[in-house]
Structure 1
């Protein structure tokens, strides 16, 4: 899930599964589908803005827990109208353990690290680091699962890493170690957690629909986050829940997770992966743009140059042959 946002993106599990390449739908419906797919990276880019606002008021575990209470409820509604709630019980023991692993990595660990990073880093900067998700996933798959990378994808990996290096060091490439603070390390940890989430989903959840897999992962992740959030209760006060915080949590859970996921999977199902994954490249673009427009974050030369390199590198990595 988020997307791809991360959050940006939860659709990575769906994208990782074999997806056919159907013909494009009728032209009268095509514009509506492309409009929804264009909104997906806007929503996933917006998760960084909402996360930045929320992390100033709530501890990471509490923020993640409430976010996924909203997300779980929204996904339950989605399941009701797509497969029926009885589908929740139609999972094997192996699939249930697989969704627990998804909840531990892509929901629990990712959100703890996501909100920790956004408590100290600007939203736009964070969205560019998270753009490394497909790169790290590809490298882990190559190292541990024997996946082969084409020369084009190796070039994409190199450009994406160089771009994020420029962003992290603010253009001074010799200062990498000195530039790595709590926020950067937390975000790199989130990238690794999401990569594991994606690969676990690819290997363990065959035969399980993306909506059902994501819902079970959200249930497990909410449980894990809730247990940790109990520790934060003495430090969380009612005045922390401002209207902006509630709006951000609802946005993250409903729009940034459930709605964006459903729209993204519609694209995978109707257009195929080759045309749909291209929209993922817009997530950091909207993350940076919305950070500038809504939060007033500065657009430095190193941020723009490094971001362009990273986005182009990820585009090459995401190319479907």
Structure 2
């Protein structure tokens, strides 16, 4: 993200997000959202490295400690610092910090400690569907027959992934395909849908940088409570470059760049149309997991991922 493009995107006073059916998605913003999906696909690889090296609270705390420092510097450089928040803004950003930072990452690292990065990433295919359903309930966005059909197709794809294509075996032994890791990642999906909808409220009065920074600071505060008893027992001196690079990647690229661009999308075209780009995250996650971690790619992943992509496209097509 260049200095000029960032400044142009955030200096203008924030305004309420336009209706998703009326706003135009500019090619530049679409490119940013595709890159965001790629960056977030990479977080599953870096997260897998950290989840196997340190307690999950400590891993999440390190990620957002790096992000918080960088975001405060970015806010000072491009916006002259952080604005003072009123009570409503404090409540909204605290909600974002709890759902999208604290709760999501608690489940995210917990899942990565139990199941492969590629399989974990495929659960992200549920994000746009949960967001569209929640937006229908909260913001009364109408879902016609085509969108309900898309939801059904995407849910079928998700079930193919979760059960590894063995529906009968799953019914016989549910825990065979849906264990603790899958349960944690399902909770992560729900928390991210809540975070996405809350971001729309925050974007009515805050810029993407301000909203991201305050959400991160709140999330860091929540994480510090859980990490306080773990930090001292972490073997910091024995960590190699892969672990330190993973922390830096998660904090700088996966959080600072990714979250700001995601907020820009929500402000420009609304939560449902922005969330559709997270459907690209599983593809990047599976590909990077195979290339960097040597994880296998199952046929059920490909079939289920394709069904989810079709379903999400139907659900969110303008």
Output the TM-score relative to the length of structure 1.
Answer: 0.83
Q: Does 1:165 align with 2:159?
A: yes
Match in the other structure for 2:11: none
Q: How many residues align?
A: 297
SS at match of 2:83: helix
Q: Does 1:201 align with 2:195?
A: no
CA contact (8 A) 2:39 2:258 kept: yes
Partner residue of 1:81 out of 70, 77, 84? 77
List runs of 5+ in structure 1 lacking aligned partners: 1-13
CA contact (8 A) 2:122 2:305 kept: yes
SS at match of 1:286: helix
List runs of 5+ in structure 2 lacking aligned partners: 1-13
CA offset digits 1:170-208 (Å, max 9, x no partner): 101131523210100000011111112222333455212
Match in the other structure for 2:187: 189
Match in the other structure for 2:35: 39
Match in the other structure for 2:226: 228
Match in the other structure for 1:244: 242
In the alignment, the residues of structure 2 paired with residue 141 and residue 279 of structure 1 have an alpha-carbon distance, to the nearest angstrom, of 16
Match in the other structure for 1:140: 134
CA contact (8 A) 2:101 2:216 kept: yes
By how many angstroms is 1:264 displaced? 4.8
Q: How does 1:50-65 map to 2 (within 5 A)?
A: 50-65=46-61
By how many angstroms is 1:82 displaced? 2.6
Match in the other structure for 1:101: 95
SS at match of 2:143: coil
CA contact (8 A) 1:95 1:205 kept: no
Greater displacement, 57-66 / 199-208: 199-208
Greater displacement, 123-132 / 274-283: 274-283
CA offset digits 1:260-282 (Å, max 9, x no partner): 33445566788x56987664332
By how many angstroms is 1:154 displaced? 1.1
Q: Does 1:116 align with 2:116?
A: no
CA contact (8 A) 2:124 2:278 kept: no
In the alignment, the residues of structure 2 paired with residue 61 and residue 75 of structure 1 have an alpha-carbon distance, to the nearest angstrom, of 21
By how many angstroms is 1:35 displaced? 5.6
In the alignment, the residues of structure 2 paired with residue 34 and residue 210 of structure 1 have an alpha-carbon distance, to the nearest angstrom, of 16
In the alignment, the residues of structure 2 paired with residue 200 and residue 229 of structure 1 have an alpha-carbon distance, to the nearest angstrom, of 25
In the alignment, the residues of structure 2 paired with residue 206 and residue 265 of structure 1 have an alpha-carbon distance, to the nearest angstrom, of 11
Match in the other structure for 2:122: 128
Output the TM-score relative to the length of structure 2.
Answer: 0.84
CA contact (8 A) 2:200 2:267 kept: no
In the alignment, the residues of structure 1 paired with residue 264 and residue 96 of structure 2 have an alpha-carbon distance, to the nearest angstrom, of 22
CA contact (8 A) 1:57 1:240 kept: no
In the alignment, the residues of structure 2 paired with residue 81 and residue 234 of structure 1 have an alpha-carbon distance, to the nearest angstrom, of 34
CA RMSD after TM alignment: 2.7
Partner residue of 1:303 out of 298, 301, 304? 301
Q: Given the superposition, is the C-alpha separation of residues 93 and 34 from structure 1 closer, same or farther in structure 2, using an over 3 Å criterion?
A: closer
